[in-house]
Amino acid sequence: MDEDADVVPPLVEMRGVTIRFPGVLALDGVDLVLRPGEVHALMGENGAGKSTLIKALTGVYAIDEGSITVAGERRTFGSTTDAQGAGISTVYQEVSLCTNLSVGENVMLGHEPRRRRGIDWRAVHIEAARHLQSLGVELDTRSALSSHSIAVQQLVAISRAMVLDAQVLILDEPTSSLDRDEVERLFAVIRDLRDKGVAILFVSHFLDQVYEIAERITVLRNGALVGEFRVEELPRAALVAKMIGRAMEDLEAISSSSERTIDRTRPPVLRATGLGRRGALAPADIDVYQGEVVGIAGLLGSGRTELVRLIYGADRADTGELEINGVAVRLTSPRHALAHQIAFSSEDRRAEGIIADLTIAENIVLGIQAQRGWRRKVRRAEQDEVVEDYMSALGIRPSDPTLLAGNLSGGNQQKVVLARWLATAPALIILDEPTRGIDIGAKADIQRKVSELSAQGLAVIFISSELEEVLRLAQRVVVMRDRRQIGQLESSDLDVDRLIEYMADSSEGNVA
Amino acid sequence: MTRMMRHRLLWPSVCLVALIVLNTIARPQFISITLRDGELYGPLIDSLRQGAPLMLVALGMTVVIATRGIDLSVGAVMAVSGAVTLTIISGSGQPGSLGTVAFAITAGLVVAFGLGIWNGFLVAVLRIQPIIATLVLMLAGRGVALLITGGFIATVVSPPFKYLASGYLLGLPVAFIIAAAAVVLVAVVERRTALGVLTEAVGINPEASRLAGVRARGITFSAYVLSATLAGVAGLIYSSNIMAADANAAGYLIELYAILAVVLGGTSLMGGKFSIAGTVIGVLIIQTLNSTILFLGVPSAESPVFFAAVVILVVLIQAPRLHQLVRGQLDRQRSRTRDRRGDPEVVA
Amino acid sequence: MTTVVTADNRRTSSAQQVRTFVSRHASVMPTLAAVAVFVLLLVGAQAYFGNFLTPRNMSALLLDNAYLLILAVGMTFVILTAGIDLSVGSVMALTGILCAKLLADGLPAAVVVPATILVGSLIGALIGLLVQYFDVQPFIASLAGLFLARGLAFVVSLDSIRVEATSVLSLQTTRFRFGTGWYITPTGIMALLVVAIGALVLLYTRFGRTVYAVGGSEQSARLMGLNAARTKILVYVISGTCAGLAGLVLTAYSGAGYPRNGIGTELDVIAAVVIGGTLLSGGTGYVLGSMIGVFVYGTIKTVISFLGAEQSWTRIIVGLLLLLFIVIQRFIVFRSERPR
């Protein structure tokens, strides 16, 4: 049974935490227990209450009911400083450091060693280096933080948490922007801290990683606690079922898509040969036929997004040729691509997709409107029809088209962006990470839609970090690594493990 | 849009009506309008006429602000266009001839248009921050205007040119008609065509708009061209009013009053959704306030104090914090609104 | 325990050393560029006029622009937090005329001087409160400050007022001579002191580092436990105080208070600060850089008057120089934004 629960007293105990916002019950009597020397994962779909719970623990939100106990002492946090004072530190998904300052300064900011005359910079850098080293990180502390990758910045953030003598470290979606090697490095640091007795709360939606690093899992759904489980007692399918309240079979049902046969006798909808851009991508080839889904697989930073941006004209290519339906073209801008019926859904839906202060309707119609030019306004009646069609086809919620798009959840925002592109009746649609960071329900909806549309003749290029997703939907898979294309495979010849092997190949040696 | 817009125009309209009512109570002749020789006269009519330059500048400013930019150079552009026009008129042999005046006016407008292209190029093509890009012209423009006029104030006698600011058409001041026509023209083009929505999209999220196929660069560029051209017209009216080119005083502080009018009208400085009707109300509020201040016997040089009070009052009313204090939910809301920036969802 | 070594210190070839230097000091580059421009200007002027680089001219460079120097220090603090203060010219005029009026009314200088500086601080505090507590954009809040100060200046007096009080006038008239023809006045010393204090505060105090942090990312600064709110208010108080001090200096310099002073000065100050290497986006910049920017401005002004040309050329050239700097800054930022 749970022997440790008796031996090791919990460091943090949140009991019956309830938080109400006007009109919404965000958390309903939720418990969370963090023990020292343990990695605890917090899981749930978007909207489950994970970030609200964390904000309650870090002092951002006040709680309406319930209690928070840290190291045996009952606490109320009125601000983030209070929580920090209690030994709770957080490393956020978007690294919250000051990139304009040096590494050393970031580590010590607010706690710089001082002499009578002011901050002692030499001591600052010595201290910072020491803290970094205790995590096994060697950096030039005088270098600007901005000159380092996100992965390194994250390690600096963790290091800072240790300066503050954190006993509880909360990692909020820390691996979203990291590649495989960087994840390994991060996990090494996490294990290290765990062995030193820090209680670690790991929030992530990457199931594999959770199973790799965590010992216990707390699952939330719709603001309520589903339960706390030990990792070895909870198989993946069961975890997913608890998170979404329905079985994983739903997702499996979409699997038939990749097994369709494609007619490749006519010219492809798009063929790119030798498409490249200096500093971004080595010349690559890709072609897509009508009704086909071509997946692009590769680690973060392998050049997938760069490739599709070149196809779409979002970036200018230095080399290469493009043929659309057999006719040579040069795509110099997104407008140009749209005119050729190519649509592109960016991976960063907030910065490059959704226009937050426009309504859902205006967002959906934007693509069509841009196509027609500013002089010919889309008539109200036509707008209403198009919007209604797509909102019901994609299941966009809430169903009021006059709501501002910025207020929707991630999954619904993605659907709105998808609707915008589909409404322009493209011949080819490029989807870059369309299901990243969205809940399983929406994920299934989008995958199903893509499958349907390709069966109806739409050509699709599909990028995803989740290899099962790629294999489920695509007939062919283009594999990228380190900004170059390394091959093209039929998905029927692949399963996830073999794809990973292919991606890693021999030169790099070890692959997780 | 209607639901939100109506709400946004509520407060400005209430303010305007309140101001007019207060003025009328203090001096009933405020709203008196007399008809003489087929021309309307009265304090209200004067306001409309004197407010024409501000209306034109604020109109252009609204569109620029909607693209998430700002145009600080409008005052300088006013000075330059006035300087060019008046220098041509006074330098010509026949200052009173319609041909000369027409040519001079065209030249002044062309120069203003050109300055707009300069601004548009800096902001849309070189992607320089609007506040800095237009700051350059704001600094340099007045210097250029001073050079054109040779440093002193050129005065002319020219009935056709005088007509701009002092003449009447259909019973109303020409200046007012020009401003009103500009407002109607811009409003119709923005709302009847898709230009308005596309401009808003560009202002809210320029990159997403570009990827959606919107001509973001063209829209931004033309906003600055429009702003400068309208400022050029305003400069002509201003010069016509004093029948001289005063490179220092022309449009002094007008960019700030224009921005104030836009903000009063409910358009956000962050760009995106804009309201021309709101700006019109904003300009009327400023004009009415101005005439109130003068009526109270306050020297016009001191009037900025009142406008400071107005600005502070307006922003306080619009400030979310005030609403929270009123509703007594300070802590919770502060955390939520502050963190909303980073959250893709409103409620987790 | 795994040792994580990043590429930074694996090799120390000379290329690596250059890279290390750049990555450590990237934010100083714009200021170095300003120094280069300043030196070029001086060299060019000397070559053209032959008698430009004299101790007398250089001393005058400092003293004629002492008020601008003080304003620039305050403005640097504000711009570092990604804010802006459009009120400084008007506040300077207000405090100047107020100082002159109070002195003319017979109040002792020991009372008048602190009082007028305090007025500047109060207006700065008002702007800071609007920005921090009411979420008003710095542009609008300082605009309100501009209106308020300008209007109040005329309320104090519609015309200029001469200053007779020798205590104040002596700030400008007393000259300390040293070397061969160099001289400095108390106003010059005040200006240099303000620069020195500003630079030291920004480098060696927690408050100063918080200013940089807030400019880099306000949210991060707050999450890191820094008191961003208080800092944001304080920078405007500092700017207002500097404006108050500048008003005093200008009044001493010209011997009178004048409500129309400082029209457009805030733009000159912003131009000087930006030319000096401070980015308008906040988080990067140095007080010493702003000082160089003021000297660049002053040199241009002097050159123009040496040439006998219209003073309006000064603004034009400063405007174009500002543009050049911005374009260069833009391209540098462009380059560093490249790899995605």
What is the structure's pLDDT at C15? Answer: 74
Interface of C with A in 157-216 (CB under 8 A): 200, 203-206, 209, 212-213, 215-216
Rounded to the nearest 5°, which phi and psi values hold at A462? -130, 120
3-class secondary-structure state, position A139: coil
pLDDT band at A465 (very low <50, low <70, confident <90, very high): confident
What value does the mean pLDDT of chain C take? 87
With 60 as the cut, is the pLDDT of residue C147 above it? Answer: yes
| A51-78 pLDDT, tens digit each | 889 888 988 888 889 999 998 888 888 8
- Residues C195 and B81: their CA atoms lie apart, in Å, by 41
- Residues B117 and B124: their CA atoms lie apart, in Å, by 10
With 80 as the cut, is the pLDDT of residue A178 above it? Answer: no
With 80 as the cut, is the pLDDT of residue B237 above it? Answer: yes
pLDDT average, residue stretch A400-428: 88
Tell which residue, B262, B242, B258, has the closest CA to residue B250: B242
Copy the structure tokens of residue C336.
């560093």
H/E element holding A12? strand A12-21
The better pLDDT of the pair B76, B293 is held by B76
pLDDT band at C3 (very low <50, low <70, confident <90, very high): very low
| A80-138 pLDDT, tens digit each | 778 888 889 888 877 789 989 999 999 999 888 888 888 999 999 999 999 998 888 88
What is the structure's pLDDT at A412? Answer: 85
What is the structure's pLDDT at B324? Answer: 60
Copy the structure tokens of residue B290.
């101005």
What is the structure's pLDDT at B234? Answer: 96
What is the structure's pLDDT at B152? Answer: 67
| CB-CB under 8 Å, B195 with A402 | no
If you ran DSSP here, which 8-state letter would residue A259 be given? G
What is the structure's pLDDT at C295? Answer: 95
Considering the segment(s) C30-337 as one domain, its CATH architecture is Orthogonal Bundle (1.10)
| CB-CB under 8 Å, C315 with B319 | no
With 70 as the cut, is the pLDDT of residue A321 above it? Answer: yes
Q: Does the interface ipTM go beyond 0.90? A: no
- CB contacts of A56 in chain B (<8 Å) are none
pLDDT average, residue stretch C245-268: 90
Copy the structure tokens of residue A399.
């169903």
With 60 as the cut, is the pLDDT of residue C6 above it? Answer: no
pLDDT band at B339 (very low <50, low <70, confident <90, very high): very low
| Torsion angle defined by CA atoms of residues B145, B150, B155 and B160, in that order, rounded to the nearest 10 degrees | -50
Touching chains, A (3+ CB pairs < 8 A) = B, C
Q: What is the helix, strand, coil percentage profile of chain C, to 5? A: 75, 5, 20
What is the structure's pLDDT at C308? Answer: 84
With 60 as the cut, is the pLDDT of residue A509 above it? Answer: no
Least confident among A333-342, A477-486, A492-501 = A492-501
pLDDT band at C12 (very low <50, low <70, confident <90, very high): low
Taking the Cβ of residue C301 and every Cβ of chain B, the question of whether any pair is shorter than 8 Å is answered with no
With 90 as the cut, is the pLDDT of residue C127 above it? Answer: yes
- CB contacts of A101 in chain C (<8 Å) are 209, 212-213, 216, 283
Copy the structure tokens of residue B6.
């109506």
Least confident among A270-279, B173-182, B335-344, C124-133 = B335-344
H/E element holding B116? helix B98-120
Interface of B with A in 259-288 (CB under 8 A): 272-273
- Residues C146 and C269: their CA atoms lie apart, in Å, by 14
With 90 as the cut, is the pLDDT of residue B42 above it? Answer: no
With 50 as the cut, is the pLDDT of residue B344 above it? Answer: no
Phi-psi region of C325 (alpha: psi -120 to 50; beta: other; left: phi over 0): alpha
Parallel, antiparallel or unpaired: strands A39-43 and A199-203? parallel
What is the structure's pLDDT at C229? Answer: 92
What is the structure's pLDDT at A247? Answer: 45
pLDDT average, residue stretch A466-475: 83
- Residues C152 and C119: their CA atoms lie apart, in Å, by 11
With 60 as the cut, is the pLDDT of residue B337 above it? Answer: no
The better pLDDT of the pair B43, A198 is held by A198
Contact in structure between A324 and A269 (CB atoms under 8 Å): yes
The better pLDDT of the pair B29, C253 is held by C253
- Could you tell me what percent of chain C has a pLDDT over 90? 47
Q: If you average pLDDT over each of B76-85, B158-167, B338-347, C324-333, which comes out highest? A: B76-85
pLDDT average, residue stretch A202-226: 87
pLDDT band at C319 (very low <50, low <70, confident <90, very high): confident
Side chain identity at residue C312, one-letter code: S
What is the structure's pLDDT at B19? Answer: 83
What is the structure's pLDDT at C29? Answer: 80
Contact in structure between C265 and C88 (CB atoms under 8 Å): yes
pLDDT band at A442 (very low <50, low <70, confident <90, very high): confident
What is the structure's pLDDT at C273? Answer: 95
| B188-214 pLDDT, tens digit each | 999 989 999 999 999 999 989 999 989
| C16-32 pLDDT, tens digit each | 777 777 777 777 888 88
* Alpha-carbon distances of C181 from A107, C43, C53, C56, rounded to whole Å: 50, 20, 12, 6
What is the structure's pLDDT at B330? Answer: 46
| C96-121 pLDDT, tens digit each | 999 999 999 888 888 999 999 999 99
Interface mutation vs chain C, best among B139, B246, B335, most C CBs within 10 Å: B139
| CB-CB under 8 Å, B342 with A374 | no
Tell which residue, B68, B26, B56, has the closest CA to residue B183: B56
With 80 as the cut, is the pLDDT of residue B114 above it? Answer: yes
pLDDT band at C297 (very low <50, low <70, confident <90, very high): very high
The better pLDDT of the pair A11, A483 is held by A11
**Beta-ladder partners of A19:** A27
3-state secondary structure A110-129: CCCCEECCEECHHHHHHHHH
Interface mutation vs chain B, best among A374, A379, A383, most B CBs within 10 Å: A374
Taking the Cβ of residue C219 and every Cβ of chain A, the question of whether any pair is shorter than 8 Å is answered with yes
pLDDT average, residue stretch B246-271: 86
Least CB–CB distance from A99: residue in C1, C200, C216: C216
- Residues A409 and A355: their CA atoms lie apart, in Å, by 14
| CB-CB under 8 Å, A97 with C224 | yes
Taking the Cβ of residue B307 and every Cβ of chain C, the question of whether any pair is shorter than 8 Å is answered with yes
| CB-CB under 8 Å, A370 with B344 | no
Nearest CA in chain B to A412: B345
What is the structure's pLDDT at C204? Answer: 93
Rounded to the nearest 5°, which phi and psi values hold at A67? -140, 155
Nearest CA in chain B to C155: B302
What is the structure's pLDDT at A506? Answer: 39
| CB-CB under 8 Å, C6 with A96 | no
If you ran DSSP here, which 8-state letter would residue C56 be given? H
pLDDT band at A47 (very low <50, low <70, confident <90, very high): low
H/E element holding A417? helix A410-423
| A139-168 pLDDT, tens digit each | 888 888 988 888 888 889 888 888 888 899
pLDDT band at C95 (very low <50, low <70, confident <90, very high): very high
What is the structure's pLDDT at C71? Answer: 97
**Prior bond to A398 cis, omega within 30?**
yes
Longest dimension (CA), chain A: 81
The better pLDDT of the pair A372, A7 is held by A372
Least CB–CB distance from A60: residue in B200, B272, B339: B339
- Residues B295 and B318: their CA atoms lie apart, in Å, by 28
Tell which residue, C325, A462, A403, has the closest CA to residue B128: C325
H/E element holding B188? helix B174-192
Side chain identity at residue A17, one-letter code: V
3-class secondary-structure state, position A240: helix
Cβ contacts of C52 within 8 Å, gap of 6 or more: C42, C45, C46, C302, C303, C306
| CB-CB under 8 Å, C312 with B142 | yes
Taking the Cβ of residue A374 and every Cβ of chain B, the question of whether any pair is shorter than 8 Å is answered with yes
Within 10 Å of residue A437's Cβ, how many Cβ atoms? 18
What is the structure's pLDDT at A208? Answer: 78
What is the structure's pLDDT at C236? Answer: 97
Name the residue with tokens 């105990």.
A13
Contact in structure between B282 and B260 (CB atoms under 8 Å): yes
